[in-house]
């Protein structure tokens, strides 16, 4: 039965989904989960958050399936990811420690800004150099040289999943070693350069 369902189009599976067909839902999930996750990760680069976002989208699809007709499912799902990630970024809140630091920062002159940035950059590189060699290489290629995960995998002759694991592990280690405010600035800066 499942093999036959695998051959159905998105529209045919959606029709079955409107009748709460769990097999049809499972096929759509398998068909699109990895693509949606990859798209979310390309924008936000936080593994757990991206997994949650994709999970929420599929839950919503299941809950609304009886009352919703979607003409282009793939386009709908990709737009949903984009909006969920944008909403997540918009809803990020600074804690009181971040707010206090931000309020107490004087407006530096151009020279001071340059020096502060150089110190910040120096600290980031110092911590990156403490990562295992392969993680260092992947983080530098991904976050500083803006290679895609696929390009990194090809360049280093490793799988995309291994690249994702190095990025995730590397960012976790950096997050533990870098001041939370600096880490937020580092991640925000990388998002803005995407």
pTM for the predicted model, two decimal places: 0.47
127: part of which helix (H) or strand (E)?
helix 110-128
Percent above pLDDT 70 for the chain: 73
Within a 13 Å sphere around the CA of 49, how many CA atoms are in the beta-carbon half? 19
Cα–Cα distance, 138 to 155 (Å, whole number): 10
**pLDDT tens digit sequence for 165-177:** 988 888 888 777 7
Question: Cα–Cα distance between 149 and 122 in angstroms, integer?
Answer: 25
pLDDT band, very low/low/confident/very high, at 33 (cuts 50, 70, 90): very high
Please provide the average confidence, as pLDDT, over all residues in the chain: 76
Distance CA(194)–CA(183), nearest Å, equals 17
Asked whether the beta carbons of 66 and 20 are under 8 A apart, the reply is yes
Domains of the chain: 2-91 (1.10.1740.10), 107-193 (1.10.10.10)
Among 184, 14, 1, CA closest to 98: 184
């Amino acid at each position: 039965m499942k093999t036959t369902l695998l051959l159905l189009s998105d529209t045919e599976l959606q029709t079955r989904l409107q009748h709460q067909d769990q097999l049809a839902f499972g096929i759509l999930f398998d068909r699109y989960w990895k693509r949606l996750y990859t798209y979310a990760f390309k924008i936000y680069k936080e593994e757990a958050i991206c997994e949650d976002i994709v999970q929420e989208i599929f839950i919503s699809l299941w809950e609304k399936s009886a009352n919703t007709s979607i003409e282009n499912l793939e386009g709908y799902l990709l737009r949903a990811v984009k909006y969920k990630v944008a909403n997540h970024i918009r809803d990020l809140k600074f804690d009181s420690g971040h707010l206090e630091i931000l309020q107490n920062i004087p407006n530096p002159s151009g020279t001071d800004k340059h020096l502060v940035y150089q110190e910040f950059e120096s600290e980031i590189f110092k911590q990156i150099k403490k990562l295992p060699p392969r993680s260092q290489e992947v983080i530098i290629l991904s976050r500083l040289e803006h290679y895609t995960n696929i390009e990194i995998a090809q360049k280093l002759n490793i799988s995309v999943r291994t690249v994702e694991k190095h990025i995730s592990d590397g960012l976790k280690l950096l997050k533990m070693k870098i001041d939370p405010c600096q880490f937020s600035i580092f991640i925000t800066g990388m998002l803005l350069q995407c």
